[in-house]
Amino acid sequence: MILSCGHYWRLAVVLMSGWLGVFLLWRRMAYFGDTLSHSALLGVALGLMTGTNLNLWVMLICVVVALLMLYVQHNPALGSDTLLGIIGHSALALGTVA
């Protein structure tokens, strides 16, 4: 069986995503992907409202949310998963209302 170049990239992604998943669970950030996907909906809503590039808004909002998560993660009163849930559902609510 001969593997093409595309198969090697797929194999590399599979091997790296396993390590990334373990790292995220170890840091108690299991809802990281959910939070970013919910914030992406907010970026799409803002892009549609302003009539500008959707990709730009999605990237901007996701970077802002990631920086916000880094900032509030240092709060010892709440766990990382709790903060991710709060930020993610807030972004989802804002994206739905907008």
pLDDT along the chain (98 residues), means of 10: 68 78 67 83 91 92 86 75 81 84
Residue matched to tokens 């992907």: 33
CB 87 within 8 A of CB 68: yes
**Angle at which helices 80-97 and 54-72 pack, to 10 degrees?**
150
pLDDT, position 57 = 93
Cα–chain center distance at 66:
7
Q: What's the token pair of residue 39?
A: 């914030």
pLDDT, position 48 = 92
CB 41 within 8 A of CB 92: yes
Tell me if the pTM is above 0.75: no
